[in-house]
Amino acid sequence: SQTIHQWPATLVQPVGSPLSLECTVEGTSNPNLYWYRQAAGRGLQLLFYSVGIGQISSEVPQNLSASRPQDRQFILSSKKLLLSDSGFYLCAFMIQGAGELFFGEGSRLTVL
């Protein structure tokens, strides 16, 4: 069966510091991969998605970036965090054509 894991689960970072959140998927090949952000009271916002290695599409302009160095690895990064980057970040994958998203456990980022 397919599984997804992301880490760290909780992160407290000062403004201006870098960020790296990592997500890995097991049990499937060539999945679509997604990064969502859930800010308080604002629902889910799609940040990035990827349909293959090295292929990243951005949904909203921001100071975050994403990379997919391997088929089942998806990384969310920032060079300098802003206060507004605080939130709950969710990685997800979809088996292509299946229509169902599987979410990781989430990473709570607090920028102080």
| List of residues contacting another protein (CB under 8 A) | 32, 41-44, 46, 49, 51, 90, 92, 94, 96-106
Residue whose CB is less far from another protein, 46 or 65? 46
Please report how close the Cβ of residue 65 comes to another protein at its closest, in angstroms.
20
Q: Where are the alpha helices (DSSP H) in 1-112?
A: none
Q: 51-85: b or e for each residue (b if 16 or more CB lie within 10 Å)?
A: eeeeebeeeeeeebebbbeeebebbbebeebeeeb
Q: Smallest distance, Å, CB 111 to another protein?
A: 19
- In angstroms, give the least distance from the CB of 1 to another protein: 14
Nearer to another protein, 9 or 112 (CB): 9
Question: Which CB sits closer to another protein, 15 or 60?
Answer: 60
List Cβ<8 Å contacts ≥24 apart for 100-103: 101/34, 102/2, 102/4, 103/4
